[in-house]
Amino acid sequence: MPKSRYKRQQAAKDDKFQSILEPYSPNFIQPRPRMRVEITETCKHDVFCPFCLHKAKINDFLISSKKGYDKRLGQCKQCSNKMLLATLTKTWTPETFADFMYEYSCQGGWQKVKFTTFNDRLKAWGWAIPFWNRYKQLKGTSDDEGYAAYMNRKGKEEVESQQLGE
């Protein structure tokens, strides 16, 4: 060890007015609380997975790793799908949930869903009728129009738009 370094260390040890941080002193800076505590304190109500509609506390959806809990994503234990914690903690109505599923269907949302479980849980909550009415309204189909009639109508609209374009 060089001589100057030793002198500095010795001078620091001999300094009577040097402040020392002690973890039990009242002015000690507290470490930031863990994310699990933050998210569980802000979200006291039950949340549900948007893909299988499994309803549980937020703790069941948190992803644990060696570094702590994931601050961005949650994972459902029943369907193993991952979703944003912001999506999980959002308060939903049947109409806003239908808007979410319609927008998410462009990103493969219905491929993540087991439809029988999804529809049964919608019915059990009493959300089925308002959800499907809003979803059909967004999609542009009516109740009395079947899939074949829908495809025929879309085909005719496409032909008409091509004829107008020529």
Give the residue numbers spanning the domain of 144: 92-156
Position with higher pLDDT, 19 vs 15: 15
The answer on 62 and 96 residing in a single domain is no
Domain boundary among 74, 91, 108: 91
* 101-132 residue pLDDT tens: 888 877 777 888 888 888 898 999 999 899 98
Predicted pLDDT at 33? 46
Domain boundary among 91, 111, 135: 91
Taking alpha carbons only, the member of 80, 110, 86, 116 closest to residue 98 is: 110
pLDDT band at 154 (very low <50, low <70, confident <90, very high): confident
Predicted pLDDT at 34? 52
Its pTM stands at 0.58
Cα–Cα distance, 59 to 71 (Å, whole number): 13
The answer on 100 and 77 residing in a single domain is no
Domain boundary among 75, 91, 107: 91
Has residue 16 been placed in a domain?
A: no
Cα–Cα distance, 125 to 108 (Å, whole number): 24
What length is written for the chain? 166
Predicted pLDDT at 8? 77
pLDDT band at 1 (very low <50, low <70, confident <90, very high): low
